[in-house]
Structure 1
Amino acid sequence: MPSRSFGVFTHALRSEEPAERPAVRQAAAELQDLGYACVWLGGSSSVRHAAHVIEHTSRITVATGITNIWFDAAEDVARDRAALEAAHPGRFLLGLGASHAELARDYRRPYSAMVAYLDRLDAAGTPVPAEGRVLAALGPRMLTLSAERAAGAHPYLVNPDFVRQARDVMGPDALLAPEVTVVAEKDPTQARARAREWIEYYLVLPNYLANLRRLGFSDEDFEAGGSDRLIDSLVVWGDEETVARKIRAYHDAGADHVALQVLSTREEEFTPLVEWRLLAGLLGLT
C-alpha cells in the first residue's frame, strides 16, 4: 500500500445482487480513476466479493474489511485467495477479523482463535503469506499479532489518538490502515445526527466500547447515540478545509493508509459517488 494513501471503505461494492452488479463495476472503475489506492469491502466480505471488483478494474487494490474467521474456513479462504492471486497478482489484500460475540456463532477467545486461524492459513496447500493479510486489531495483543504475523492492522471506529498508540505498539514498519468515517456536512446538527444514526449499532458491542474506554471515553459518552465529544472524535465532518485537515490528521498520527467510509446526508443512493469525488479533490488525488 503506498505511503500516506487513501482508500474507500464500502459495504455496497460487495453486493451480489444481479441488478446491482453493473453499478458495482461502474463505481469501482471510477474509484480507480479518481486515484484511490484501495477498495475495502465492508461487512463479512470474502474473496469472492473482492474477485468481482478486481476482475472489472485494472490496478486498484481490493481488500476485505473484514473476512470473518468464524464464517469462512481458513482452508477455503487460502484456496480462493490463491486462485485470485494467480489470475490477478498483487491486487488482493485479505483483511481478517474475529468479529463480536453478539454477531458470530461459536465465538470464543478471539485472540487464540485468530492465532489458530493464521496457523491454518500458513499450513494451507497454498499458504497466505503474512504480507498478504491484515488484522482488524484494536487491543494491544491483537495489534502486536498484526505486526508479527501479518502485514499490519485495519482498525475500525478509531481516532488519531488510537493511531498514535497503535503505531507505538506495532513499531514503524507494520502497515496501519484505519477506517475513518466521514460526513461531508458543515452543519453541526445535521452532521452529528447522521453520525449518531450510524454509530448506534456499534455502541452496544463490548469490543468497541472497551477500546473507546482505553481512549478515555466513559459510559456517559455512550448514551443517547453518543456525546458530541465522542462523535467529533470518531467522525470527520465540517467545511471542506476542516474535513481535509481532520482526515490528514490520521496520516500525521502514524497511519500509512486511510480507508474512508462516507455517510451521505443526501437521499440514499447505492454509492456516495458525489462525496467520493469531492474527497478525491480535497485530498489531491485527482
Structure 2
Amino acid sequence: MAARRGDGAHPFSQPVAQTAVTRAALGPEALVIPHQFLLTGVAPEHARELLRAVVALDTRGESSPYTANFRRLGYTDADVVGRRSDRLMDAVLAAGDPEAVAARLRAHRAAGADHVLLHPLAPDLASAVDQLEVLAPLLGLAERV
C-alpha cells in the first residue's frame, strides 16, 4: 500500500536489514526514510539500557507488530520478548563513538534509504543538537552557521 497509495514508508526503530526489505518491497521510486535512534559518546552497555527504557513503553510484548517484524528479520524470542537482547538493541540503536554512529547511518543509505530520520537520545534539546553537530561533518553535511 505504501508504494501504491503513498509516497513511501518510514520504518520506525528497525535494523538496517529492514531498510533493505522496505526498499525491495517498494521499488526504486518510493521514498524510504528509516528512523534511527542514536547516542554518541556513551559506552554500549549504558546506551542499551537507555534504549531499553524507551522501548519498555511498548507493553504489547509478544503480540506487538514490532516483535512480529523482528521475528521475520531473524530475531528469536530470546531477542524480542521480555528484556530485549543486546543483539537487538545494537541493531536498532546506533551508539558509541561518532564514527561508528555515522557508519550505521551510511549503512541505511547503502541499504536503500533516501533519507534517515535521526533521533538522538538526549536529556534535552541542546544535548541532542550537540550530537547532531558532531555527526554532521562525518556525513558530509554543512556545519551549522
* TM-score under structure 1 length normalisation: 0.46
- Asked if 1:212 is matched to 2:70, the reply is yes
Contact 2:36 2:94 in 1 (8 A): yes
Is the contact made by 1:203 and 1:209 (CA closer than 8 Å) also made in structure 2?
no
Count the aligned residue pairs. Answer: 139
Look up the match of 1:173.
29
Distance 1:243 1:160 in 2: 13
Moved runs in structure 1, 4+ residues, more than 6 A? Answer: none
Counterparts of 1:84-233 in structure 2 under 5 Å? 145-202=1-58, 204=60, 206-233=64-91
Change beyond 3 A, Cα 1:225–1:263: farther
Which residue in 1 is equivalent to 2:121?
263
1:243 aligned partner, one-letter code: V
Q: What residue is the counterpart of 2:106 in the other structure? A: 248
Deviation at 1:169, TM superposition (A): 1.0
CA distance in 2, matches of 1:189, 1:208: 22
Query: Residue 70 of structure 2 contacts residue 80 of structure 2 at CA under 8 Å; is this kept in 1?
Result: no
Cα distance 1:187–1:238, how it changes in 2: closer, same or farther (>3 A)? Answer: same
Q: Distance in 1 between matches of 2:20 and 2:80?
A: 23
- Aligned equivalents of 1:261 and 1:251: distance in 2? 16
Q: Which amino acid aligns with 2:50?
A: R
Cα pair 1:158 1:178 within 8 Å, conserved: yes
Percent identity over the alignment is 37
CA distance in 2, matches of 1:203, 1:250: 28
Conserved? CA contact 1:202–1:208, under 8 Å: no
- CA offset at residue 182 of structure 1? 0.5
1:284 aligns with 2:137: no
Map Cα deviations across residues 206-257 of structure 1 (whole Å, 9 max, x no partner): 1111111111112211245310100011110121211111111000001111
Instruction: Tell me the amino acid that sits aligned with residue 218 of structure 1.
Output: T
3-state SS of paired residue (1:201):
coil
Bigger radius of gyration: 1
Q: Unaligned regions of 5+ residues in structure 2, if any?
A: none
**CA-CA distance at 1:185 after TM superposition:** 2.9
CA deviations on 1:107-126 (whole Å, 9 max, x unpaired) are xxxxxxxxxxxxxxxxxxxx
Q: Distance in 1 between matches of 2:130 and 2:29?
A: 34
Normalised to the residue count of structure 2, the TM-score between the two structures is 0.87
